[in-house]
Amino acid sequence: THFGFQDVPKGEKARRVADVFHSVAARYDVMNDLMSFGIHRFWKFFTTELAGVRSGARVLDIAGGTGDLAARFARQVGSEGEVVLADINASMLRVGRDRMVDRGLGHRVRCVQANAECLPFPDDHFDVVSIAFGLRNVTDKDSALASMQRVLKPGGRLLVLEFSKPRSELLSKAYDLYSFRALPFMGRLVADDADSYRYLAESIRMHPDQDTLRDMMLQAGFDRVKYHNLTGGIVALHIGYKG
């Protein structure tokens, strides 16, 4: 099955993304650890440390899935704050809600089914909005960035953690080999689902590189946009502010 983006109509892409996440939801956390050798934990730690969330803050984690970021934010905001874990996919959200309860944070995190392209929250509401490994799955990224900008308070910040472009040729070659050969193989072996993991590799390839995403954020109205390359640019964390 070919899961590339450019050759499929918009609604079709959304449907395929939904199928992928319905099918991986139950095994998502374990596959994340396996396929990134646990490094995704470091990328997320770095993100929540840089987010600068204060006690009492309002935070939205969109495309939050099983809630790794939301759980960290819930500890940072304390009992006065508000954390919303939002995702378009009911299966992922269900696993996320269960994980929150398991972590003893069920009362602190509100789970909302929502599309990043048209967020169902008031204007100027959140201090911090984050999206981790989610933007590449969104069909209309410009609408999503505009929607995130709308729900942020003036002075609030957006953090986008996403696969990006490796900085060196050598790393890029090794990474290609890993994601196009090893990932689908492991996907078949562990989850009996090579297609979902082939989709993952392809979606990573088509995602905008560091500078393109920075320009898209500027275009959406964010100020002072900068990024940090993590693990040689395999992943980048972009940060921008609502003026």
Contact footprint for ligand SAM (CB under 6 A) = 17, 21, 62-66, 68, 87-89, 92, 115-117, 132-134, 137-138
Tell me how far, at minimum, the Cβ of 119 lies from ligand SAM, in Å: 9
Output the CA angle 238-117-43, nearest 5 degrees. Answer: 30
Q: Is 1 annotated as a binding residue?
A: no
Nearer to ligand SAM, 48 or 240 (CB): 48
Tell me how many degrees the CA angle 196-227-18 measures, rounded to the nearest 5: 20
Question: Which is nearer to ligand SAM, 55 or 140 (by Cβ)?
Answer: 140
Strand partners, 162: 236
Tokens in use for 138? 């969104």
Give the shortest CB-127-to-ligand SAM separation in angstroms: 19
Pick between residue 66 and residue 223 the one whose CB is nearest to ligand SAM. Answer: 66
Q: Smallest distance, Å, CB 188 to ligand SAM?
A: 19
- Smaller CB separation from ligand SAM, 66 or 76: 66
Diameter of the chain by CA atoms?
48
Is residue 89 part of an annotated ligand binding site?
A: no
Q: What sign has the CA pseudo-torsion 83, 88, 90, 96? A: negative
**63 or 77: CB nearest ligand SAM:** 63
32 marked among binding-site residues: no
C-alpha–C-alpha distance, residues 80 and 83, integer Å:
10
Say how many CA atoms lie within 13 Å of 213 toward its Cβ. Answer: 27
Is 47 marked as a binding-site residue?
no
Which position has the token pair 């987010």? 51
Alpha-carbon gap, residue 48 to 116, rounded angstroms: 20
Q: Tell me if 55 sits within 8 A of 89, measured CB to CB.
A: no
As measured in angstroms, the least distance from the Cβ of 169 to ligand SAM is 27
C-beta of 170: minimal distance to ligand SAM in Å? 26
Binding residues: 66, 87, 115-116
- Which residues are documented as binding site for S-adenosyl-L-methionine? 66, 87, 115-116
